[in-house]
Amino acid sequence: MPKLGMTMEEGTVVRWEFEVGARIEKGNVVLVIESEKNEADIEAAASGTFRHVYVAEGDTVPCGTLLGAITATADEVFESDDFHAAEDRPEAKPSGGLEVRTAATRTSPSPAASHETRATPIAPAARAAAKKLGLDPQQVRGTGPGGRVTKQDVEAHAAAREALTPVADGVALEVVSGGSGETVVLLPGLGTDVSAFARQAPVLLERFRVVGVNPRGVGHSDAPEAADYPVEQTASDAAATFEGAAHVIGASLGAAAALELALRFPDRVKSLTLITPFVESNPRLLAVTDAWQRLAAEATGETLAAALLPWFFSPGFLADTAVRARTLRGLAQTLARVPASTLERMVAGLAAWSGTRTSDLSQVAVRTLVISAGDDLLTPGAGALASAIPGASLVEVAGAGHAVALEAPEAVNGAILKHLS
Amino acid sequence: MDFTRDALLDVYRRMRTIRSFEEKLHELVAAGKVGGFMHLYAGQEAIAVGVCSQLSDDDQVGSTHRGHGHCIAKGVDVAAMMAELFGRTTGTNRGKGGSMHIADVEKGMLGANGIVGGGIPLVTGAALTAQVKGQPHVAVGFFGDGATNQGQFHESLTMASNWKLPAVYVCENNGFGEFTPTEFVVPVKDIADRAASYGMRAVIADGMDFFDVYEKAGEAIALARAGEGPTLLECKTYRFYGHYVGDATPYRNKEEAEDWIQNRDPLDLFESRATESGVIDRDALRLIDGEVAERLRVAVESAEAAPLPEPGDLLTDVYVRYE
Amino acid sequence: MTRELSTGAAINEAIAIAMRSDPDVILMGEDVAGGGDRSKEGTEEMGGVLGTTRGLVGEFGMNRVRDTPIAEMGLIGTAVGAAATGLRPIAELMFMDFLGTSLDPLLNQAAKLRYMFGGKVKVPLTVRTVCGAGMQAAAQHSQSLYWMTTGIPGLKTVIPSNPADAKGLLLASIRDDDPVIFCEPKGILNQTRPVPEGDYEVPLGKANLVREGGDVSLVGFGATVGVALKAADALAGAGTSAEVLDLRSLSPLDEGAILATLEKTGRMVIIDESTPRCSIARDVAALCVDRGFDFLNAPVKCVTAPHTPVPFSGVLERAFLPSAQDVLDAVGEMG
């Protein structure tokens, strides 16, 4: 079967014009074939006797298939099978024979493999640097557009991590410390960092060794994956940041951790100061933390700060626009250090802890000071809490909001110093 | 014209080699042993040999997709050509070119060319080289009637005329440009008429008559070599096969084709003329037929046994110098 | 002490040096002598549409400096044939836009003869051509089509950014045994800078680090190197140190230099005067993503002309061309 054109793959024998035994002259049309609806006359390449037909009329065969045989003379020896074996060369159809190759050893986990709980992009150079430094790039806060983690972010994170304090297996926290003397441990509240005690630090540093603990997921502290960050865990983490016994001061959710510390490790706590504490959440607190969580996932630091400001500070404080603006900027910067995932875990921890220690307040065996704020919208029951703790003293700062430590530092500092001495 | 016995035999041998080579190829392609597009020169032998028998290795020749005849006439090794068609490393082009690009620059064969009209500027360039360097060489371009419609044709002949380059432009008018009859797309009766637009000398020859081509080509070549400028030589001819192997030529009138093939075969015409003078006899020619057939059989055999290129050969010869 | 020359004058000098040192070098093209038959009294030679080749027919004569008809396919094709048979021609394609009328001899002959002939022929041809916008020459005389020739295997494409490189790169191109497309960007033709005297070559395939820096890599070629340097100055004023790489040779491409600067800074902007699709800018960007993935600290930005023909009106043409401000915008965007 001839190949009449590049794309022809097979042809059909339409009609043999001669019968076996007939005399054929070179150039005679021996058969008619058909391919792709076109018929073609096939001429004899040589003269002789038509000896054998291999493909019958109506059959379709690939190009190169032996169709017939002509011998120069009528009576010479002709073995049809041998001739077929020697001359039949049907074209093979292009077959599979493909080899699927697997990618060379993956040296870094594909994005699909590592469960990214946030959508922030990570630059390739950052991934490579993180791998080299043995860090998880997801743990790094990105300063690039859209929160992209850059190589510099990874390097900064690594450098900051060198300064972290290990508190548990594979977990290290960002601890800010200074001063000398007896140790005072500061535990900040939900979604903030140690800068919440910015107005207390200078005063305390003059007299004490101050250890401010940024909990899991805040600032450069490790943010291990978890469904929640339990309050008990925050307490035991904190206990690992100092030796012996210390004065422990906590605000809001930090006060919950401080309370836990005092209940679990009373011999580690010299004195306990609880600023706007709670043992049970209330509907408004839950509503505010819910809103906070939603906004944190979508809004910028300033937007979030603007939404939270009225819940933390009193009208009197907010009346001064310059103060309000300054506070907004400061709060925005602090909020930027707590990613949405951390907030989620802290809120879950808060919800799980709420109500579990109400009846244990009478067990507190440490000298306790409760500082409450007169205009506290979030944890108004602080005063009642004080009476449940044996021997606790209460200082109420009239007219101040939940963030009383920032709003009314003189009153707060005075109370604390008196308590610590 | 005086031809010695040896000269006549040599001419016949060349023409017979071309004819047999093309017939053999037709078989090989139909049997699927050789791939690619194949354009056969059978029927036009008198032109290639009539011109090239008067050229030396220093005279460059440009050709077309229908180039086997020009290659053989110019003295390119037949076995190497066959190996090239089988894609072997022993081929003229090391298996990298194939039928449409067979070349042997040392024999003055600038290559068959896959672009219609593509060889014409190359030949003009070869003529320019000879003129700039003051060499007594001639460059000859072969092309078909279809190519004379190409811009490259007009631009090249314009430049060759302006500079009086030592070139001869040989148009092989075989009546068809691929599947379209010449008169359908060329608005002048004779291609030679086109030379007037370039102020160029033009001559028409009977492309089936070796002796007529030889005489007229000889004049053109002599004039070019003498610095008298280029000539357009139109040879009327006919291609015995289709445009390419696999073309059943439904667009050609069967009787007309039969008439050319049966009654105007250039080999038959040469044989009659050459033997009637008594200088050679038919037996000598039959002997040559046998020698040529044997030579081709050996060429096919050695081509089939020759080595195929290695995968690494894919990347070589793109540049003289790789950075 | 080096004197200053314009890019056009530097090119003229290179051609003269090449023609003096090798009798096989000829110059052909439309108006390259410019004036046709010099035997006529009272006529003066033009030396090319931009005057680049003035004086050459006077020194080398009409056998070696030839005015051709306005027949680009014929003139380039003839030059290819001459190159394949022993000459070393410099053919001028007056404007790169005329690749349209001359592509076949370059694409299907010059680029492929050596390969198709199994290495048995060489085509030592140089095609000089003016490219780029900036002279209000409008859509059909202002294109930067080096991406087309760069993509054709068998051709080489080079593009200088200053007079000194123009001279050395042209001498290297003429002496290279492969067909070389030598681009002369309109944006630098009148630029005057110091040019060394004598015979020297700038190698093909080697990029040039024009300015060192650590924060971001600006990759340019031809007229965009000047744009990159202007942007680098502005960035320095704002505390960002930019590195500027002049590609010089598009095919062969100095991939090592590109990847090295990307590794150093992690941030790259490529500035290309041509339109964006299938451009050199995107070709280099793909190289970075393919072979420099782990170096990337920000997306690779391509600053190119828009996907339009070149407009005539000056205000539009200025907007068409990549500017230093476009580069600064890209740097700001990439983060």
What residues of chain B, 188 to 217, have a C-beta less than 8 Å from chain C?
A: none
Please answer yes or no on whether A4 and B30 come within 8 Å at the CB atom: yes
Q: Which residue has the tokens 């044939």?
A: C81
Identity of the residue in C24, C81, C206 whose CB atom sits nearest the CB atom of B126 = C81
Residue in this structure with the two tokens 């109506």, named with its chain if needed: A58
CATH fold for domain A10-87? OB fold (Dihydrolipoamide Acetyltransferase, E2P) (2.40.50)
Please report which helix (H) or strand (E) contains residue C237, including its range.
helix C224-237
Residue of A106, A148, A149, A155 to mutate when probing chain C, most C C-beta within 10 A? A148
* Distance spanning both ends of chain A, measured CA to CA: 110
pLDDT at A102: 52
**Does the CB of A133 have a partner CB in chain C at under 8 Å?**
no
Taking CB atoms and an 8 Å limit, are C119 and B316 in contact across chains? yes
Distance CA A11, CA A35 (A): 5
CATH code of the region A117-162? 4.10.320.10
- Residue C296 is predicted with a pLDDT of 95
Query: Does the CA dihedral B145-B146-B152-B154 come out positive or negative?
Result: positive
Question: B323 falls in which pLDDT band (50, 70, 90)?
Answer: low
Whether C297 and A127 lie within 8 Å, measured CB to CB: no
Dihedral of alpha carbons B85, B89, B316, C128, sign = negative
Q: Which chains touch B (3 or more CB pairs under 8 A)?
A: A, C
pLDDT (tens digit per residue) in B172-210: 999 998 888 999 899 999 999 999 999 999 999 999 999
Nearest chain A residue to C262 by CA: give it: A125
Over residues C247-267, the mean pLDDT reads 98
- State pLDDT tens for residues A198-252: 999 999 999 999 999 999 999 889 889 899 999 999 999 999 999 999 999 999 9
Out of C108, C119, C252, name the one closest to residue B118 (CB): C108
The answer to whether A151 contacts C266, with C-beta atoms less than 8 Å apart, is yes
Helices (H) and strands (E) in chain B, counts: 11, 7
B122, B124, B321: residue with CB nearest C109: B122
pLDDT bin (cut points 50, 70, 90) of residue A136 is confident
| Residue range(s) occupied by CATH 3.40.50.920 in chain C | 208-334
Q: Between residues A41 and A272, which one has the greater pLDDT?
A: A272
Q: Residue C39: what pLDDT?
A: 65
- Please state, in angstroms and rounded to a whole number, the distance separating the CA atoms of residues A293 and A299: 10
Q: pLDDT tens-digit profile of C30-54?
A: 989 887 666 666 667 788 888 899 9
Which pLDDT score is estimated for B64? Answer: 96
For domain C208-334, give the fold: Rossmann fold (3.40.50)
pLDDT reading at A107 higher than 80:
no
Would the pLDDT of A61 be above 60?
A: yes
Q: Give the distance from residue B24's alpha carbon to the nearest chain C alpha carbon, in angstroms.
A: 23
Per-position DSSP letters for A72-108, written without gaps between them: SSSSS---HHHHHHHH--PPPP------PPPPS--SS
Of B27, B32, B246, the CB nearest to A91: B32
Residues of B whose CB is below 8 A from C118: 91-97, 317
Give strand ranges (E) for A157-268: 165-168, 171-179, 183-187, 209-214, 246-251
Question: How confident is the prediction for chain A on average, in pLDDT?
Answer: 89
* Termini Cα distance of chain B: 56
- Please give the residue of chain A at the shortest CA–CA distance from C267: A125
Backbone angles phi, psi at B183, to 5 degrees: -65, -15
pLDDT digits (tens, 9 = 90+) for A160-205: 888 899 999 889 999 999 999 999 999 999 999 999 999 999 999 9
C85 CB neighbours in chain B (<8 A) are 60, 105, 110, 125-126, 129
Share of chain A above pLDDT 70, in %: 93
Q: Which percentage of chain B shows pLDDT scores above 70?
A: 99
Distance CA C277, CA C296 (A): 22
pLDDT value of residue C46? 82
pLDDT confidence tier of residue A94, bands split at 50, 70 and 90: low
Beta C208-211 vs C242-246: how paired, if at all? antiparallel
Q: How far apart are CA C275 and CA C281, in angstroms?
A: 9
Question: Is residue B37 less than 8 Å (CB to CB) from chain A?
Answer: yes
What does the block give as tokens for A100? 């699927």
- Helix, strand and coil content of chain C, in percent to the nearest 5, comes to 40, 20, 40
Domain range summary for chain A, segments of one domain joined by +: 10-87, 117-162, 170-421
User: What are the sequence ranges of the domains in chain B?
Assistant: 5-307
Buried b (16+ CB within 10 A) or exposed e, A22-49: eebeeeeebbbbebeeeebebebeeebb
Residue B111: list chain C partners with CB under 8 A: 113, 116-117
Least confident of A51-55, A169-173, A350-354, B136-140: A169-173
pLDDT at A117: 44
pLDDT of residue C42: 65
What pLDDT score was predicted for residue C159? 98
Write the CA distances from A12 to A59, A349, B185, integer angstroms: 6, 80, 37
Q: Write down the pLDDT at residue A113.
A: 36
Q: Quick one: average pLDDT of C94-109?
A: 96
ipTM of this predicted structure: 0.88
Q: 3-class DSSP state for residue A159? A: helix
Confidence of residue A34 (pLDDT cuts 50, 70, 90): very high
The domain covering B5-307 belongs, at the CATH homologous superfamily level, to Thiamin diphosphate (ThDP)-binding fold, Pyr/PP domains (3.40.50.970)
Q: Cβ A4–B248 below 8 Å, yes or no? A: yes
Q: From the list C79, C124, C153, which residue is nearest B318 (CB)?
A: C153
pLDDT attached to residue B278: 87
Residue-wise pLDDT tens digits, C210-255: 999 999 999 999 999 999 999 999 999 999 999 999 999 999 999 9
Global pTM reads: 0.76
Secondary structure letter of residue A141 according to DSSP = P
| Top-tier CATH class for C4-194 | alpha beta
The predicted structure's pLDDT at residue A108: 36
CA distances from A228 to A172, A284, A288, A348 (A): 17, 21, 18, 5
Confidence of residue A98 (pLDDT cuts 50, 70, 90): low
CB-neighbour burial class of residue C209 (10 A; exposed 0-12, middle 13-18, buried 19+): middle
- Dist. CA C9–CA C3, nearest whole Å: 12
B262 has a chain A CB within 8 A of its CB = no
Q: What is the pLDDT of residue C317?
A: 93
Structure tokens given for A241: 């940041």
Q: What is the pLDDT of residue A112?
A: 40
In the predicted structure, residue C146 carries a pLDDT above the cut 60: yes
Cβ distance of B105 and C82 shorter than 8 Å = no
Asked if residues C124 and C178 have their Cβ atoms less than 8 Å apart, the reply is yes
Q: To the nearest whole number, what is the mean pLDDT of chain B?
A: 95
* Topology, domain A170-421: Rossmann fold (3.40.50)
Q: Which of A8-12, B52-56, B235-239, C321-325 is predicted least confidently?
A: A8-12
Quote the tokens at residue A56. 């019958």
- Nearest CA distance, C334 vs chain A (angstrom): 8
| Residue B153 or A35, more confident | B153
What is the four-CA torsion angle of C221, C225, C226, C231, rounded to 10 degrees? 140
The pLDDT value recorded for residue B36 is 84
Task: Tell me the percentage of chain C whose pLDDT exceeds 70.
Answer: 97
